[in-house]
Amino acid sequence: MNAELTGAEITIRCLQEEGVQCIFGYPGGAVLFIYDELFKQDKVRHILVRHEQAAIHAADGYARSSDKVGVALVTSGPGVTNAVTGIATAYMDSIPLVIISGQVPTGAIGLDAFQEVDTVGITRPCVKHNFLVKDVSELAVTIKKAFYIASTGRPGPVLVDIPKDVTQQQAQFVYPGKVTMRSYNPVIKGNSRQIKKATELILDAKRPMIYAGGGVILSDAAEQLTELARMLNFPCTNTLMGLGGFPATDKQSLGMLGMHGTYEANMAMQYCDVLIAVGARFDDRVIGNPKHFSNENRKIIHIDIDPSSISKRVKVDVPIVGDVLDVLKELIKLLKTEKTEKKKPELPSLKEWWKQIDLWRERDCLRFDRDSKIIKPQMVIEKLYQITKGDAFITSDVGQHQMWAAQFYKFDKPRRWINSGGLGTMGFGMPAAMGVQLANPKGKVACITGEASIQMCIQELSTCKQYRLPLKIVNLNNRYMGMVRQWQEFFHGNRYAESYMNALPDFVKLSESYGHVGMKIEHPEDVEGALKEAFKLKDQLVFLDFITDQTENVFPMVPGGKGLSEMILV
Amino acid sequence: MENESGALSRVAGLFSARGYNIESLTVAPTEDPTLSRMTLVTVGSDEVVEQVTKQLNKLIEVVKVIDLNEGDHIERELMLVKVRAVGVERDEMMRLAEIFRGSIIDVTNKSYTIELTGTSSKLDAFLESIDRSAVLETVRTGACGIGRGEWVLRV
């Protein structure tokens, strides 16, 4: 018979059993017993953030840049409400997280106790699942379920709310090796008849297109996707969430598609005759107006682990529910055994299609003024790409800088591009970068941000100092909320309502006051040198404040409600 | 679905978050006390109903979702209606209740309370057939449904 452990001990033991090495959190009244147990051990490292939102983003960045579940620990009430933005961010991008939150003692629940909030109620719409643990004997199995649910099927955040008295009560500790739930059995293997149908479509395609999303990254299927695309010589585009799923430097890559996608990717998406959608969800920012998208006749194969993603916005012809990795393997196997020799890349129609794509490419849709006397934001990212040899982990905040990063940093590997795609959370970049750095201690980590976004979680400069996280903050400072300004310029008669960032801090002094290195770069000729110097400072966080062109806009652009081929071009 | 606190609010929350309609919703534990069975009536195009089904299936506590409209099914709803019953109305109400196979389950010298079961449209028809001003209060459970024949919903 094992000795009985307290709920707090059980919580920490569970994390140890799950192999969790690093958690992000902030203590408070309801989680004091859990923190006490954290203090008594050294297997699980705790990173103290400066705001609970950052704890979740950091755990999120940790998860995205590794294949582990991110873990965060927050207290009740405001601890949880601060965490909600982070949780919703992870939910929208299907990131596996386990969030442990403290709760007031069971006897006080519902009595408007100090720091009480209905955590399960508040987080319900933005978690994959959540639990309130009322009995200490249920604690271990609940945490096991949380990890299981978070990391299987379509991943997502799972929250476990633990009342303070439950952390004090005792129970036998047995950590279940596995859990089964009759109500939760995600489908992994794709239906073989559907896969067969897909191969027939693929082999008959004249103008094929592969459209790959975040599901490829999440299921670690980049290698298989690349193999598939190359064996067929099909063009491939990636969504914002899918960048790195297919090497951006490959000649078959058309770059990103969507609202700020390349001309060639959007045109090929619109005019292909067979579309292979892999772990993507036909998002409004990706296909533009769905009616316009449906104007063209094309057959769609859709591989996704979540049945509710299929035929949600666009009707598809061959749905395949299953894990992207598993389905791609099957598909490749079948294509190899099919008489592919007869019907292969040499097909004249495929050649024609590539010719058309090359014509679209000639539009050079991402060109910008390289001789500008003012720093062009695109140029900063190009230089960053060159200096890091395309091998850095890049996080971003939300806005113009995010789109430029996605367009100009060529991601050849998965899990290198970390951004808030679904929710679009400003303030995500730096805390996410902390998580990335902790998951990849030897990796080069840069956060591409803007002067508006960075101020939404600027307090984390302090966390970076405490844990010596040598991030490179690439601040594209145009003194505007750039994307808001761009929309106001295009669609609101140049009325720049509240989008000018007045009274900015001196970012150099600000960074220095936190104990970091700050640099202000005002001339194009200084960009490269500053970046090189920053990356030489291997152990230091360097805040690079680039003063960039205020009038620069992100092109191409598909205006809201317009069709994918109706882009505004530079 | 699992007979757990919170499961119902997940379903209700899903409908409001995604803008689906709930016409009625009934839920109670089944012969297996760990399971509850819910009958939910909604309206929408085939695409919407397909999405509703998929989204419900995604909820962790939902064990199985079936669309009863895909096969023959029976549905029943219970209504309690309190009506004014004074003078000649007393006989009239009693007759109408009989026609609709209802029963009077509470009586005062001024009112009856009538219990009626049937499809939702039968209950509507009853309310249509009596003098509207005589209706003092109604309460309805919402429909619950089951497939016809020997086919059984198993989990």
Compute the distance between CA of residue A305 and CA of residue A221 in angstroms, rounded to an integer. 13
Compute the distance between CA of residue A470 and CA of residue A252 in angstroms, rounded to an integer. 35
Q: Is B44 on the interface with A (CB under 8 A)?
A: no
Q: Which pLDDT score is estimated for A340?
A: 54
> Which residues of B fall within a CB distance of 8 Å from A183?
1-2, 60-63
Compute the distance between CA of residue A317 and CA of residue A328 in angstroms, rounded to an integer. 18
User: Could A182 and B63 be called an inter-chain contact, meaning their C-beta atoms sit closer than 8 Å?
Assistant: yes
What are the pLDDT digits (tens) for A527-567? 999 999 999 999 999 999 999 999 999 999 999 899 999 99
Sequence-distant (≥ 6) Cβ neighbours of residue A98 within 8 angstroms: A69, A70, A71, A72, A143, A146, A147, A150, A157, A158, A159, A160
Question: Is-contact A267 A296, C-beta < 8 A?
Answer: no
What are the pLDDT digits (tens) for A196-246? 999 999 999 999 999 999 999 999 999 999 999 999 999 999 999 999 999
Q: Which pLDDT score is estimated for A343?
A: 54
Question: Is-contact A565 A557, C-beta < 8 A?
Answer: no
Catalytic residue among A114, A189, A206, A550: A114
> Which residues of A fall within a CB distance of 8 Å from B54?
307-308
Instruction: Point out the residue among A124, A132, A149 whose CB comes nearest to the CB of B10.
Output: A124
Q: Which pLDDT score is estimated for A1?
A: 59
- 3-state SS, residue A401: helix
B75 pairs with which residues across the strands?
B145
What are the pLDDT digits (tens) for A251-299? 999 999 999 999 999 999 999 999 999 999 999 999 999 999 999 999 9
Sequence-distant (≥ 6) Cβ neighbours of residue A563 within 8 angstroms: A270, A288, A289, A292, A293, A295
Q: Which pLDDT score is estimated for B5?
A: 86
> Which residues of B fall within a CB distance of 8 Å from A308?
51, 54-55, 57-58
Catalytic residue among A426, A430, A434, A483: A483
Instruction: Point out the residue among A120, A149, A311 whose CB comes nearest to the CB of B60.
Output: A149
Backbone angles phi, psi at B82, to 5 degrees: -100, 125
> Which residues of A fall within a CB distance of 8 Å from B63?
182-183
Sequence-distant (≥ 6) Cβ neighbours of residue A79 within 8 angstroms: A26, A28, A30, A31, A52, A101, A102, A115
Question: Is-contact A12 A34, C-beta < 8 A?
Answer: yes
How many beta carbons lie within 10 A of that of residue B38, not counting itself? Answer: 16
Cα angle at A494 between A373 and A265, to 5 degrees? 70
Beta strands in A88-196 (DSSP E): 97-103, 129-132, 157-163, 170-172
* CA–centroid distance for A65 within its chain: 9
User: Could A182 and B155 be called an inter-chain contact, meaning their C-beta atoms sit closer than 8 Å?
Assistant: yes
- Which burial class, exposed, middle or buried, applies to B148 when counting CB atoms under 10 A from its CB (0-12, 13-18, 19+)? exposed
Compute the distance between CA of residue A385 and CA of residue A444 in angstroms, rounded to an integer. 12
Task: Scan for tokens 């309310």, then name that residue.
Answer: B127
| Terminal-residue alpha carbon distance, chain A | 72
pLDDT at residue A344 tops 90: no
In this prediction the ipTM stands at 0.92
What is the average pLDDT score of chain A? 96
Backbone angles phi, psi at A284, to 5 degrees: -65, -30
Compute the distance between CA of residue A169 and CA of residue A139 in angstroms, rounded to an integer. 11
DSSP B92-136: HHHHHHHHTT-EEEEE-SSEEEEEEEE-HHHHHHHHHHS-GGGEE
Question: Is-contact A34 A102, C-beta < 8 A?
Answer: yes
Catalytic residue among A164, A376, A383, A444: A164
A272 pairs with which residues across the strands?
none
A212 pairs with which residues across the strands?
A238, A278
If pLDDT is split at 50, 70 and 90, which confidence band does A132 have? very high
A261 pairs with which residues across the strands?
none
Token pair of A119 as six digits: 């955590």
What are the pLDDT digits (tens) for A2-20? 789 999 999 999 999 999 9
> Which residues of B fall within a CB distance of 8 Å from A124?
9-10, 13
Token pair of A160 as six digits: 């476990």
Compute the distance between CA of residue A63 and CA of residue A89 in angstroms, rounded to an integer. 13
User: Could B60 and A125 be called an inter-chain contact, meaning their C-beta atoms sit closer than 8 Å?
Assistant: no
> Which residues of A fall within a CB distance of 8 Å from B60?
128-129, 149, 181, 183-184
Token pair of A300 as six digits: 């769609």
Q: A26 to each of A16, A74, A116, A454, A493, how far by Cα in Å?
A: 19, 5, 16, 21, 45
User: Could B57 and A125 be called an inter-chain contact, meaning their C-beta atoms sit closer than 8 Å?
Assistant: no
What are the pLDDT digits (tens) for A61-116? 999 999 999 999 999 999 999 999 999 999 999 999 999 999 999 999 999 999 99
Q: Is A184 on the interface with B (CB under 8 A)?
A: yes
pLDDT at residue A322 tops 90: yes
Q: Which amino acid is at A402?
A: Q
Q: Which pLDDT score is estimated for A345?
A: 56
Q: Which amino acid is at A362?
A: E
If pLDDT is split at 50, 70 and 90, which confidence band does A341 have? low
Q: Which pLDDT score is estimated for A227?
A: 97
Q: A429 to each of A223, A473, B145, how far by Cα in Å?
A: 27, 9, 50
User: Could A120 and B6 be called an inter-chain contact, meaning their C-beta atoms sit closer than 8 Å?
Assistant: yes
If pLDDT is split at 50, 70 and 90, which confidence band does B154 have? confident
If pLDDT is split at 50, 70 and 90, which confidence band does B151 have? confident
Q: Which pLDDT score is estimated for A501?
A: 87
- Residue whose C-alpha is closest to residue A210's, from A172, A255, A174, A263: A255
Question: Is-contact A446 A405, C-beta < 8 A?
Answer: no
Catalytic-residue membership of A114: yes
Task: Scan for tokens 């961010």, then name that residue.
Answer: A89
Cis peptide before A307 (omega within 30 of 0): no
Compute the distance between CA of residue A501 and CA of residue A522 in angstroms, rounded to an integer. 18
Compute the distance between CA of residue A123 and CA of residue A249 in angstroms, rounded to an integer. 40
Q: A7 to each of A26, A32, A96, A130, A550, how far by Cα in Å?
A: 19, 12, 24, 18, 54
Q: Which pLDDT score is estimated for A385?
A: 98
User: Could A183 and B51 be called an inter-chain contact, meaning their C-beta atoms sit closer than 8 Å?
Assistant: no
User: Could B58 and A308 be called an inter-chain contact, meaning their C-beta atoms sit closer than 8 Å?
Assistant: yes
Token pair of B104 as six digits: 């009077």
pLDDT at residue A346 tops 70: no
Question: Is-contact A282 A213, C-beta < 8 A?
Answer: no
Compute the distance between CA of residue B126 and CA of residue B123 in angstroms, rounded to an integer. 5
Compute the distance between CA of residue A323 and CA of residue A218 in angstroms, rounded to an integer. 10
Of chain A, the percentage scoring pLDDT greater than 70 comes to: 98
How many beta carbons lie within 10 A of that of residue B52, not counting itself? Answer: 21
What are the pLDDT digits (tens) for A402-442? 999 999 999 999 999 999 999 999 999 999 999 999 999 99
Question: Residue-wise over A305-331: b if at least 16 C-beta within 10 A, else e?
Answer: bbbbbbbbebebebbbbbbbbbbbbbb
